[in-house]
Chain A
Amino acid sequence: SQTIHQWPATLVQPVGSPLSLECTVEGTSNPNLYWYRQAAGRGLQLLFYSVGIGQISSEVPQNLSASRPQDRQFILSSKKLLLSDSGFYLCAWSFKDSLYNSPLHFGNGTRLTVT
Chain B
Amino acid sequence: GENVEQHPSTLSVQEGDSAVIKCTYSDSASNYFPWYKQELGKRPQLIIDIRSNVGEKKDQRIAVTLNKTAKHFSLHITETQPEDSAVYFCAASLSGYSTLTFGKGTMLLVSP
Contacts and interface: CB of A to CB of B under 8 A. Distances in A.
Contacts, number: 59
Interface of A: 34, 42-44, 46, 49, 59, 90, 96-109, 111
Contacts of A59: 99
A52 to B, nearest CB: 13
6 contacts: A34-B99, A43-B89, A43-B103, A43-B104, A101-B93, A108-B43
Contact of A103 (B49, B97, B103): B49
A100 B89 contact: no
B32 A100 contact: yes
Given A44-B44, A44-B105, A98-B97, 11 more contacts: A43-B102, A43-B104, A59-B99, A98-B95, A100-B32, A100-B51, A100-B93, A102-B96, A104-B100, A105-B46, A108-B43
A106 B102 contact: no
B46 A96 contact: no
A49 B51 CA distance: 22
Contacts of B31: 99-100
B12 interface: no
A44 B102 contact: yes
A34 to B, nearest CB: 7
Contact of A98 (B41, B49, B96): B96
A102 B93 CA distance: 10
